[in-house]
A and B are shown apart, each in its own frame.
Chain A
Amino acid sequence: MTERATLHQKNLEKIFNPQSVAIIGANQNKGTVPFDIFNGILSGDFNGVIYPVSPGKKNISVIKAYKYVLDIEDPVDLGIIVFPSSVAHMALEQCGQKGIKSVIIISAGFREVGGKGIERERKLLEIAQKYDISFIGPNCLGLINTDPNVRINASFARQMPAAGSIGFLSQSGALCTAVLDYAQAKGIGFSKFVSFGNKADISEVDLMYYLMRDEKTKVILLYLEEVSDGRALMKAAKDVIEQSGKPILIIKSGRTEEGASAAASHTGSLAGSDEICDAAFEQAGIIRCDHIEEMFNIATAFAYEPIPPSNRVAIITNAGGPGVLTTDTAIKEGLQLACFSEETSKVLKKALPNTANINNPVDVIGDATAERYEAAMEAAFQDSNVDGVFVILTPQSMTDIDIIAQKVVDVVQKYDKPVYTSFMGEADVASGIRILQQNQIPHYSLPESMSKAFAVTHQFGQYLKKAPAQRIDMAATDPLKAKEIIQKAIREGKTYLQEYEAIELLNAYGLPVSEGVLVTSEKEAGQMAQQIGFPAVMKIQSSDVLHKVDVGGVQLNVITEEDARRTYHSIISNVQERMPKAKIQGVFITRQIPKGEEVILGLKRDPSFGPVIMFGLGGIFVEIFKDVSFRVVPVTREEVLEMIKQVKAYEILAGARGRSRRDVEAIADAILKLSQLAIDHPQITELDINPLIVLEEGKGCFVADVKVLLTNELEFN
């Protein structure tokens, strides 16, 4: 953690738990942000002292106002700046002089407006650093802490939400108010609620670390519009999950592709920012949600219920159709219908009418009373084959909705297994749903959402159980040799390596290349081909030719010395004819690699997440099906094996339909070495190994072609 990040953790204490607050720039004009912020704190039963700072005013409401924050005699824990952006820096400077270290800057008109705003934001940071101040914002809605010992609504949200165990962090202020309204309707409470706006100083990463230590927070939700430092976000998520076991749910808006089409390699064009974001989140254990409803569906499951040890569910319903629907969604989400023990079957048979279905899903029949639901729930909870219970209700004329809801509440209190409910419908079931929500029983209007929430909590439980990653020994690499190759190419003004150079580079990292030699005459071609062995492959080497096949610059199956001489001549003639101005370095001869399955390995640098590796089945599969997987480096062997298995075409490598199984372990080795190469040499911007030929299990794999793109904008260490 950097010095400033450590300072933020200290200063966040007073941002969330202040005993005194100065609202700097408060006014008396109802309906304005400065007044509403002041009023929110005043009317929210804040357990502390409030100081409005408002030049020219003697008081705001009934509270004495100060001209400057410096005029307040007592110490102030938290400064909330609501002045316009043009003078926010003056207010921050005075906070510094007053010794206030914790500040929220609500004001807008900074980086988000460009021009002068960028300069203003820079100035704020400069002042904050001068006085060791940490600030949230600018351009934010503020924060809420529902802890009864604090109770601060330092925001312009309409009201203080209920207390709960969900910590919500949002880059968008406007979304916050909508989320609060949504949560209020669903009876969802929050521990902390923060809008961090432009995150000029305190970022989502700092806030995640704070919530990790916050005893009131069980689940962390985050709405992000931009991931400015993806690696820091991943590290924070891993730390939070590993150290506290708290799940992190993120909505990252902007699932769009940008810049991918302009990329020069397969990896560049396939690795869009959103795909990388998906992969990075998964790798860090972050649960990515598509929308607010899904986020809260899952969040309430985490907040209210224990994580299921396994995925076996019992479904209890008073209607057959919804039971089948729920079964379908459960299976689709990878859950299993629990197989009841003999004892459970006996109990159910005794408690339920003859017409009831005592197998899973249990149908307690349309006329089911609360007692029937109770008997079925008790039996299911007591069965050790059941890890969680889904209770479904449809409102029929004889259904006592509220009584059944209350019965669910009473029964689940006795057991340490999760229960999820779905009272299907809207108007008739509303009061029953309210009972469930008030008692913190997760409720879902659709079975799909219920199954998904259970599946996600179960998967998170499995993620927590994963063994810590093993360190990988990379002693066999020769980074100095690789550096020499890259440095030489950059000195010569190249933006990509010639194939013979790229092969040498991969060889330095122990990647399985077929060694070759660069020849510059027909005679030499014949001699070297003879030495390397037949069949051989010959390829043009020219810094002006990127796509060798297109200019007749590649020949496979060269089988004799005479053939090699002839091929040299024809390759040179082809290129000279099609690209007369191309500068030719020679022809590269390698031993032809035996036939195998073609896969692609790639590397790309993402502006936010850094080096990212890609895997997929090669050939036409890459471009047409885009069946590829990504991971942010560094990676563990386990992660690499997962990424290989993640592609749909993995079955082909695993030996589907009588084909021989391919050497997956050798692919994993190659990916790990590629990952190390990416870490050691930031000058490599993109790299494609396409194809990597994979032989049968135990026989390895070989690089058949490689493309390496470089940047000359980075210094060498």
Chain B
Amino acid sequence: MEKSEVKARVVNVITSILEIEEALVTDEANFIFDLGADSMQSLQLVAGFEEEFDIEMDEDKALDVQTVGHAVDFIAEYL
């Protein structure tokens, strides 16, 4: 899968779970500090990505992912 497609789908998951505008979801945006994800939403994001891409991620490592760009790279490794 192309990285651009991964990113588009990642952005979709983020905007729907965090209920924020797409424009805010930049590569550098930090899930907690910039996008306001709380601990519950962080877990929902991990679950959302797994469902979207039909993958099973290492949860501890997934929760360590801080930014959107890093999340795209992290998910790409499972595809």
Contacts and interface: CB of A to CB of B under 8 A. Distances in A.
Given A56-B18, A56-B20, A83 B32 contact: yes
Q: How large is the interface on B (under 10, 10 to 19, 20 to 34, 35 or more residues)?
A: 10 to 19
B38 A32 contact: yes
B38 A91 contact: no
Contacts of A91: 33
| Interface majority SS (helix, strand, loop, mixed), chain A | loop
Interface string A69-105: 0000000000000011011001100000000000000
B34 interface: yes
A86 B66 contact: yes
Interface in A1-39: 25, 27, 29, 32, 34
B57 to A, nearest CB: 17
Contacts of A54: 36
A55 B38 contact: no
A32 B19 CA distance: 20
A57 interface: yes
B36 A56 contact: yes
Nearest to B34: A55
B59 to A, nearest CB: 15
B23 interface: no
A114 B64 CA distance: 16
Interface string A31-54: 010100000000000000000001
Interface residues of A, number: 16
Given A56-B18, A56-B20, A90 B38 contact: no
A86 B60 CA distance: 13
B54 to A, nearest CB: 27
Contacts of A32: 38
Interface string B19-44: 11000100000101111111110000
Contacts of B39: 84
Interface string A157-184: 0000000000000000000000000000
A32 B64 CA distance: 21
Interface in A105-142: none
B40 A55 contact: no
A83 B66 CA distance: 13
B33 A90 contact: yes
B36 A57 contact: yes
Q: Which of B19, B20, B33 has the most CB of A within 10 A?
A: B33
B40 A29 contact: yes
Nearest to B21: A56
Contacts of B30: 87, 90
Contact of B35 (A27, A56, A90): A56
B26 to A, nearest CB: 13
A56 B40 CA distance: 15
A87 B38 contact: no
A54 B32 CA distance: 9
Nearest to B42: A84
A91 B33 CA distance: 8
Interface string B56-77: 0000000010100000000000
A54 B64 CA distance: 20
Contacts of A56: 18-20, 24, 35-37
Contacts of A27: 36, 38
Contacts of A25: 32
Given A29-B38, A29-B40, A32-B38, A87 B33 contact: yes
22 contacts: A25-B32, A27-B36, A29-B38, A29-B40, A32-B38, A55-B33, A55-B34, A55-B35, A55-B36, A56-B19, A56-B20, A56-B35, A56-B37, A83-B32, A83-B33, A84-B39, A86-B32, A86-B66, A87-B32, A87-B33, A87-B66, A90-B33
Interface of B: 18-20, 24, 30, 32-40, 64, 66
Closest 5 CB pairs of A and B: A56-B36, A55-B36, A87-B33, A90-B33, A87-B32
Interface of A: 25, 27, 29, 32, 34, 54-57, 67, 83-84, 86-87, 90-91
